Amino acid sequence: MYHGMSSSPLLDGDRLYLQLLHSNEQLVLALDKNTGKEIWKRLRMTNAHEESLHSYASPFIYRFDNQEFLLTHGADYITAHDLKDGREIWRCGGLNNPENYNLYFRLVASPVAMPGLIVVPSAKNGPVLGINPKDAKGDITNSTTNYHWKLAQNTPDVPSPLIHDGLVYLCRENGVLICLEAKTGKEFYLERTHNQRHRGSPVYADGKIYLTAADGMVTVVKAGKQFEIIAQNTVEERLSASPAISGGTIYLRSYKALYAIGGE
């Protein structure tokens, strides 16, 4: 892989789930967290090739409305797997256009979810899918019932989407922030925050959305349907990591240091 293995493992109960999607193998695994013993291993089928086989996204578990499955994202597809044995329940393509196939369509941004909706980013200004997972089975790429909405372009390339209070926030790598209605995909705004590369994912806290740019600028946007920049401050060091927020403290990891910023 050009940038090394960076897909995060997922710990759930006594199991550790991994997606290993790269040129030499396409695997989904479940391990015993205490012993490392393999519980199940599934070969993940794909017709992707070249760098499009590479995925830097991370798996996560969808648990809503009496549905429960592991989602993996990469190699031109998002797939859902049974937690018990790893069998594939459904898959969805439509991310890398086969009529104009991009050999370098590696997936970095991870999907996010709320009850009844999975927001699936892609790469290289490609599509964003608003998937309805109810009763999904098999290949749903061309389904008429398993989508709430589709965007033809404007996907985040590296930052993962954010869902909060019925709104979806997409931060493009160029600093453009897009706000959509989660249920319908209706666009409320598309606005520039800071004209620098954004690699970190947007994070919500206390009515605000926090965005980090490569030149060290942190932009704070008011959450909601109306675009409003509340503040912009720089750490004057290179930033790629997403902010982490806990207990009233914002943690920012630059290339040189870890900052903890908080009130009294």
* 124 within a domain of the structure (yes/no): no
What is the model's pLDDT at position 136?
A: 96
Give per-residue pLDDT as tens, 126-179.
Answer: 999 999 999 999 999 999 999 999 999 999 999 999 999 999 999 999 999 999
Same domain, 93 and 184: no
Q: Residue 259, Cβ neighbours under 10 Å: how many? A: 16
Query: For tokens 């979810």, what's the residue?
Result: 113
Query: Looking up tokens 């329940």, which residue turns up?
Result: 89
Question: Would you say residue 59 lies in a domain?
Answer: yes
Q: Are residues 90 and 195 in the same domain?
A: no
Confidence of residue 264 (pLDDT cuts 50, 70, 90): low
Can you name the residues that pair with 16 across neighbouring β-strands? 11, 31
Confidence band, pLDDT 50/70/90 cuts, at residue 1:
confident
Residues 39 and 100 in one domain: yes
Query: Closest by alpha carbon to 78, among 113, 103, 51, 102?
Result: 113
Rounded to 5 degrees, what are φ and ψ at 50? Answer: 55, -145
- Let me know whether 77 and 10 are in one domain: yes
At 170, give phi and psi (nearest 5°).
-120, 120
Question: Is 184 in the same domain as 105?
Answer: no
| pLDDT band for position 3 (cuts 50, 70, 90) | confident
- pTM comes to 0.95
Please check whether residues 7 and 74 belong to one and the same domain: yes
> Considering the domain boundaries, does residue 151 fall inside one?
no
User: How many independent structural domains does the chain possess?
Assistant: 2
pLDDT for 93-121, tens place per residue? 999 999 999 999 999 999 999 999 999 99
Same domain, 70 and 3: yes
- Per-residue pLDDT of 171-209, as tens digits, reads 999 999 999 999 999 999 999 999 999 999 999 999 999
pLDDT digits (tens, 9 = 90+) for 11-27: 999 999 999 999 999 99
What CATH number should be reported for the domain holding residue 3?
2.40.10.480
122, part of any domain: no
The one-letter amino acid code at 244 reads A
Chain length of the chain: 264
In this structure, the answer to whether residues 97 and 3 fall within a common structural domain is yes
Residue 203 sits in the same domain as residue 100: no
The reply to whether 224 falls in a domain is yes
Backbone dihedral region of 256: left (phi > 0), alpha (psi from -120 to 50 degrees) or beta?
Answer: alpha
Beta-carbon contacts of residue 99 (< 8 Å; ≥ 6 apart): none
Beta bridge partners of 77: 74
Domain range for 92 is 1-110
Would you place residue 33 in the very low, low, confident or very high pLDDT band (cuts 50, 70, 90)?
very high
Residue 171: CATH number of its domain? 2.40.128.630
Fill in the DSSP letter of residue 242: P
What integer pLDDT is reported at residue 255 of this predicted model?
94
> In this predicted structure, what is the pLDDT of residue 252?
96
Give domain status of residue 177, yes or no.
Answer: yes
| 87 domain-assigned | yes
**Going by DSSP bridges, is the β-strand pair 138-139/88-92 parallel, antiparallel, or unpaired?**
parallel
Indicate whether 189 and 85 sit together in one domain.
no
Judge whether 261 lies within some domain.
Answer: yes
How would residue 4 be classed by pLDDT, with cut points 50, 70 and 90?
confident
